Structure 1
Amino acid sequence: MSHDMSEASARPVRGRRNPFARAQDDGGPRATFRQLLPFLFEHKRVLVVVSVLSVIAAATTLVQPLLIGEVIARVQAEQPLGVLVGGLVLFVLVSSAVGAYQHYLLQRTGTAVVLSSRRQLIARLLHLPIREFDARRTGDLVSRVGTDTTMLYAVLTQGLADSVGNVLLFVGALIAMLVIDPIMLLSIVGVLGVSVVAVASLSGRIRRATSAQQESVGELTSGIERAIGAIRTVRASGATEREERAVTEKASQAYAAGVRVAKASALVVPIAGIALQASMLVVLGVGGMRVASGAVTIAELVTFVMFLFLMVMPLASAFGAMTSVGQALGALGRIQEVLDLPTEAADDAPSTRPVPVPGAPAIAFRDVRFRYPEAVVAARRQAVKEAQEEHVPTLAEAAEAREDDVLRGVTFEVPRGARVALVGPSGAGKSTILALIERFYDPTAGRIELDGQDIRELPREELRARFGYVEQDAPTLAGTIADNLRLAAPDASDADCERVLRAVNLGGVIDRSPLGIDSPVGEDGVMLSGGERQRLAIARALLTAPPILLLDESTSSLDGLNEQLMRDAIDAVAQGRTLLVIAHRLSTVVDSDRIIVLDRGEVVGQGTHSELVQSVPLYRDLARHQLLV
């Protein structure tokens, strides 16, 4: 089987570093508070209710020190308390009930924000151009949907959403303290001011540390995904210990990054505690002297101290909000990086009805050139380096990080209703041709036509509906046989599913289980053989009854008997269809109407098998090595 850059183009390389990440000086993607607002404003109605509740809670809380002061004054004056105690209990109960309901709304809204961000990420991820997946780590993308979005939860649940009530509480307490005794208030302003400046300076460190932590978690997730996804190859290569060390190293890096976040955020708590303790000591010292001089009463001092607590409470909440916002912005930078990427549909043609040109070939390449984007090349180069360092023979290790043109002026035609084969050595560009036909990439130069019309003038969805595409090493989705078949034809009947399965010699698979087409296939199709997985992919393509079939090494995993049965099945479904087939085994394509020979991205010969054996030395050598001449 070919293992080159062109033929691995449709598959993401796992375990790579991300060359697309927009790095800043501290190494993480940037995010601003303004970018966080849309996630919050999506739930503005609930936030308004929360704000109203926080105002009510703040008002009922501010009344309590005044009532307590009045109770103390009346006790000192030996006056009856009247309804003061009952009123105080009522305000405490109201404040607690409102706070509990507000807490519930914040928790629910925080969860809704996470859901909203995940929906946006999932929608964007599944519509990104293929080049993004070729240049990014799968595990890192999964990490952004999972752990990064969770960081947004803390924004609502740690003080930001009830900031209106906290501001009212802070301002109300400040005014009350100013009325009670301006001198005691001035004595603590300096202490509180220093603490605010210190926490503000820490917020930047927290954001940078969080961004680095999330990157490390993405690396860890990618490393685990890579090792588990290739566990059989890892075991067979005796690389289990090396993979364990590599993944453990990523876990250690994530731990170290988490410790840096903990160190930065841990300073916020003692700062708030020191500010409160210092303020209390100052108030008690200054207040004691003020009471001794008769400037304030004991009741006023107690009331002042209670208002001091009420003023420090929203200040501590603000410190927590600054910390959570700093952490959220670090994670949001990674989320926003993906949300800012253009989708595949961004450069898509408007919906239109294809207008075939009479007499035009089904598919035509006109002087097509193609070079992979630098980011993809950089990712593959990094994958090769990492795989070589770990000595694990994976697809990533074999992918050649080519920087030159993969296709160099390729020109050929596929007549309507014909069977055309693409052959050539590894790295010739065969799989890239199919990727360009499917518009996973667009050519660097030249033109690709479908029925005489430039494929860039067709919407991708309409274009791809014309093809049945079976990629090299076609994946089998976890679930049942029916789930896999109906991926492209969700409305297909059970009878249609069984028909295509028997057409590709998979009748025995459904006959050996009482569940039939509802038989599970296991993760990555582990319950099927390699040949069965390959035939299942072909059956999936056949179920949509496309006019054109694109088969990339479709018989590479089959033994001689099943290969012949597959050829018979393809012969049967080929009637009235156009086939473009990539084959490493020439025996599967010797009877093709036309064979196109590729070498180093160029067409070096076209014709039938007998013609090419006589006229193209490369083809003759390939045929001789496979005992066909």
Structure 2
Amino acid sequence: MNTFILIRKLWPFVRNYRGSLAVALLLTTIGALLAQVTPLVMEYSVNTVQKLLDRPIEKTEVAWVVGSLVAILLTKELLSLLVQLGQKFLSDRIRFRMAADLYEFTISRIVSYHLSFFALGQNQTGKLEKRIDKGIESLTKTVKNLFVDIVPMMANALFALVLIYNKNVGVGIVATLVLPLYAYISREQTKRQSQIRRSIQEIRENKANALFGLLESIFVVKSFVRERYEQDRQHVLNVSLCTNEIRHHRTNYLFDGLKSVAEQIGIVLVFVVTIYFVLNRQMTIGAILLHIMLFNNVSAPVRHLHRIYDEYSEALVYAEGFFDMIENNTYLPHQGSLKTTAWQGHFSLKNVDFIYPNGKQALRNVTLDLQPGKVTAIVGLSGAGKSSALNLLAGFYNPTQGSVLLDGKPLSDYDSEFVRENVGLVLQKNHIFAGTIEENIRYGRLEATPDDVIEAARQASLHAQVLQLPQGYQTEARTLSGGQQQRIAIARLFLKNPPVLLLDEPTASLDAITAEQIKESLDAIKQNRTVLIISHNISQIMDADQIYVMQEGEVIGQGTHESLYQSGGLYRDIIDSNARTLNISRLAATVLG
């Protein structure tokens, strides 16, 4: 990514603050002009003092000259201070507001992306978090550097160079000669640093993702006594980052030294040429101080540009990954517009193949039919493709081949928000947000009243346990046990009360009594709804109107519980294994006496 592309991509976010930019540029011009006052005053002072020394001096004249010069310099410094304060205030206001705009736009894009975007290895949670934070930080820092550092210094240098040329063309040419040399050194620095910066960016993202994973799985780490192992993993990433950072800064130090040499060569040349013209009586003695101070204004960007340039080059690297992330239309799902009041909820998969973005094929020529108002179950061993089929029916992924239909029309033709408002999901891993129990349940229907939330909790067999907590429904939800969190997810479903239910292991992590209570509640809510249930719990699938048996991504059987069991095969094996695991014969003997 080059500067022109970066400006073009940033402009939609910057143009909202054109008024502030115009004022900032005006202040920049004023500040650059004020910066030339001191060299001119110094030249005048030296020349005036030299003339005064050639004749008798009255005290009043000395007081007038000194007082005037002090007043001019103090006024100039006061005005410069006000200009700098104005520039910093405007740049910070633009920077912070633009950071907020970038963040909001990023979030709006991220949440709209297809789930296949998040399935990619480079888009893991920790990596995305780092890319967003560093991207916004680098871009806003670039705006600050541009309007507080680069533009003011360049304007200062330009006015100073014009003054030098105005005083003497020869000195101006000498002062200009150092600039191409410095530009060449900076270009070489960029070429050598670009690859290092990309490596640093990748390592930082991997490090952030590894740290996120470590903190997320700290209980597993401790249970397996793998503290040292995790420390070693972090150590490898840390050493790699440290090595690249040292290499990066070592290269910077080398080129910064070359830039300093180039600057000093320029100062010496300006000094020598000015002395030459003074000795030849073509300039006054004050011109020596004038040219040195003006060249100082010209070389100020040279002294500071290495820092700004380094930050800017880093921003270009992060900006590339950041804009690739937020401008990737590949993962924007096709948004249909179809909405219907004649909702039947008849979902089906027709000859569907599905391959995840990582290349794993999950489904092969799968055909499923969810009849309206009926309960459909999918059973199979782990990894058979059951959850993948549910994800396609929910519209989270698009099939690689075949079609997903709703009431006989492609699911992609429907408005996705309309479909999901009418579908309730309980997944194997239900996310609990940071917040209270009440807030997490209300997520199912944001406008729900407290009484609605309590009723949903009752249906999920959660209300009695919540009342035993010191803070009740205001308790932090993430502090609850896994089973209680599962009940929060089910309470969300009851609160939403949708016409279609997609249930993936809804009673996982629950004890037997709670599981029975939830099953009774689900049995009640299933009435006259389209239901798909995936479960290893035979009690939840035996009563289904239609059962599909899946193995290695294919449907290998369908029918009722009785017909599938009589047919033998995998379904019978699963049922028999469940019976042996539960020790049904002994349980029956115990219960029946």
Q: Give the TM-score taking structure 1 as reference length.
A: 0.84
Q: Secondary structure at the match of 2:290?
A: helix
Instruction: Point out the structure with the larger helix share.
Output: 2
**Post-superposition offset of 1:514:** 4.1
1:393 equivalent in structure 2: none
Equivalent in the alignment of 1:148: 135
From 39, 43, 65, the counterpart of 2:17: 43
Alpha-carbon contact 2:88-2:148 (below 8 Å) kept: no
Closer/same/farther in 2, CA of residues 224 and 295 from structure 1, 3 Å limit: same
Shift of 1:131: 0.6
Counterpart in the other structure of 1:12: none
Partner of 2:542: 590
1:209-288 alignment runs, 5 A limit: 209-267=196-254, 269-288=256-275
Bigger mean CA offset, 212-221 vs 59-68: 59-68
Distance 2:253 2:10 in 1: 24
The equivalent of 2:451 in structure 1 is: 495
From 394, 397, 402, the counterpart of 1:441: 397
Distance 1:49 1:211 in 2: 36
Change (3 A) 1:623 1:452: same
Q: Deviations over 1:432-478 (max 9, x none)?
A: 11100111111222232223332121111111111110111212222
Q: Which amino acid aligns with 2:554?
A: E
Cα shift at 1:90: 1.6
CA deviation after TM superposition for structure 1 residue 569, in Å: 1.4
Give SS of 1:77's match: helix
Distance 1:116 1:461 in 2: 25
Give the Å deviation of 1:339. Answer: 1.2
Q: CA offsets, 1:357-411, max 9 Å, x none?
A: xxx77222222222223xx23xxxxxxxxxxxxxxxxxxxxxxxx3x4x222222
351, 354, 359: which one pairs with 1:370? 354
1:336 maps onto 2:342 in alignment: no
Cα offset, 1:351, TM superposition: 4.8
**Aligned amino acid, residue 95 of structure 1:** S
Match of 1:293 in 2: 280
Is the counterpart of residue 71 in structure 1 residue 68 in structure 2? no
Rounded Cα–Cα distance in structure 1 between residues aligned with 2:79 and 2:391: 65
**Following the alignment from structure 2 to structure 1, what is the Cα–Cα distance between the partners of residues 470 and 579?**
43
Match of 1:604 in 2: 556
Matches of 1:260 and 1:335 in 2, distance apart?
24
Query: Counterpart in 1 of 2:295?
Result: 308
CA distance in 2 between counterparts of 1:579 and 1:514 reads 37
Aligned residue for 1:62? Answer: 36
The CA deviation at 1:55 is: 0.3
Q: Which residue of 1 aligns with 2:81?
A: 96
SS in 2 for 1:152: helix
Partner of 1:385: none
Q: Post-superposition shift, 1:64?
A: 2.6
Q: Aligned-pair distance for 1:521?
A: 1.8
Distance 1:107 1:270 in 2: 32
Out of 367, 372, 376, the position equivalent to 1:420 is 376
Contact kept, 8 Å, 1:361 with 1:452, in 2: the verdict is no
Q: Helix, strand or coil: the match of 2:387?
A: helix
For 2:207 and 2:385, how far apart are their aligned partners in 1?
33
Conserved 8 A contact 2:175-2:295:
no
Deviation at residue 162 of structure 1 after TM alignment? 5.6
Query: Aligned equivalents of 1:300 and 1:45: distance in 2?
Result: 40
Question: Is the contact made by 2:393 and 2:404 (CA closer than 8 Å) also made in structure 1?
Answer: yes
Q: Could you list the per-position Cα deviations for residues 233-253 of structure 1 after superposition, in whole angstroms to 9, with x for gaps in the alignment?
A: 222223222122112222222
CA distances 1:16-38 after superposition (whole Å, capped 9, x unpaired): xxxxxxxx9xxx9x975543444
SS of residue matched to 2:477: coil
Q: Quick check: 325-334 or 204-213, which moved more?
A: 204-213
Counterpart amino acid of residue 619 in structure 1: Y
Larger Rg: 2
CA distance in 2, matches of 1:45, 1:266: 39
The answer on 1:546 being equivalent to 2:498 is: yes
Residue type matched to 1:586 in 2?
A: I
- Matched ranges for 1:549-560 at <5 A: 549-560=501-512
Partner of 2:489: 537
Partner residue of 2:428? 472
Other-structure match for 2:116 = 131
Change in Cα spacing, 1:267 to 1:55, as seen in structure 2 (3 Å) is farther
What secondary structure is seen at the aligned counterpart in 1 of 2:277? helix
Q: Which amino acid aligns with 2:347?
A: I
Judge conservation of contact 1:31–1:330 (CA < 8 Å) in 2.
no
Alpha-carbon distance change, 74 to 31 in structure 1, aligned in 2, over 3 angstroms: closer
- 2:440 corresponds in structure 1 to 484
Does residue 462 (structure 1) correspond to residue 418 (structure 2)? The answer is yes
Distance 1:156 1:365 in 2: 51
Distance across 2 between alignment mates of 1:298 and 1:466? 87
* Shift in Å, 1:143: 0.4
1:178 equivalent among 127, 149, 165: 165
Amino acid at match of 1:544: K
Alignment of 1:431 with 2:392, yes or no, is no
- 8 Å CA contact retained: 1:470, 1:554: yes
Q: What do residues 570-597 of structure 1 show as CA deviations (whole Å, max 9, x unaligned)?
A: 1122222222100112232212222221
Q: What's the C-alpha RMSD, in Å, of the aligned pairs? A: 2.5
State the AA in 1 paired with 2:291.
Answer: F
Closer, same or farther in 2 for the Cα pair 1:183/1:409, shift >3 Å?
A: closer
Report SS of the residue matched to 1:352: coil
Question: Hey, what's the Cα distance between the residues in 1 that align with 2:430 and 2:507?
Answer: 11
SS of the equivalent of 1:270 reads: helix
Q: Secondary structure at the match of 1:535?
A: helix
Match of 1:574 among 519, 526, 531: 526
Instruction: Name the structure 2 match of 1:627.
Output: 579
Distance 1:581 1:134, change over 3 A: same
Kindly state the Cα deviation for residue 555 of structure 1 after the two structures are TM-superposed. 1.6
Shift of 1:613: 1.0
Tell me: higher relative CO, structure 1 or 2? Use CA pairs within 8 A at least 6 residues apart: 1
Q: What is the count of residue pairs matched by the alignment?
A: 567
Call closer, same or farther: CA 1:97–1:622 in 2, change over 3 Å.
same
Alpha carbons of 1:477 and 1:545: their partners in 2 closer, same or farther (altered >3 Å)?
same
Distance 1:175 1:364, change over 3 A: closer
The answer for the alignment partner of 1:191 in structure 2 is 178
How big is the shift at 1:138?
Answer: 0.8
Contact 1:556 1:584 in 2 (8 A): no
1:160 to 1:318, Cα distance in 2 relative to 1, 3 A: farther
After TM superposition, give the deviation of residue 255 of structure 1 in Å. Answer: 2.2
Q: 1:345 to 1:35 in 2, by over 3 A?
A: closer
Gaps of 5+ in 1: 1-23, 378-401
315-324 or 119-128, larger mean C-alpha shift: 315-324
Structure 1 residues 312 and 152, CA gap change in structure 2 (3 angstroms): same
Amino acid aligned to 1:416: P
- Specify whether residues 42 and 253 from structure 1 end up closer, same or farther in structure 2 by C-alpha distance, changes over 3 A only: farther
* Secondary structure of 1:407's aligned partner: strand
Looking at structure 1, the residues matched to 21 and 193 of structure 2 have their Cα atoms a distance apart, in angstroms, of 26
Distance in 2, matches of 1:201 and 1:57, equals 32
Inter-partner Cα distance in structure 1 for 2:244 and 2:223: 33
Q: Distance in 1 between matches of 2:157 and 2:182?
A: 15
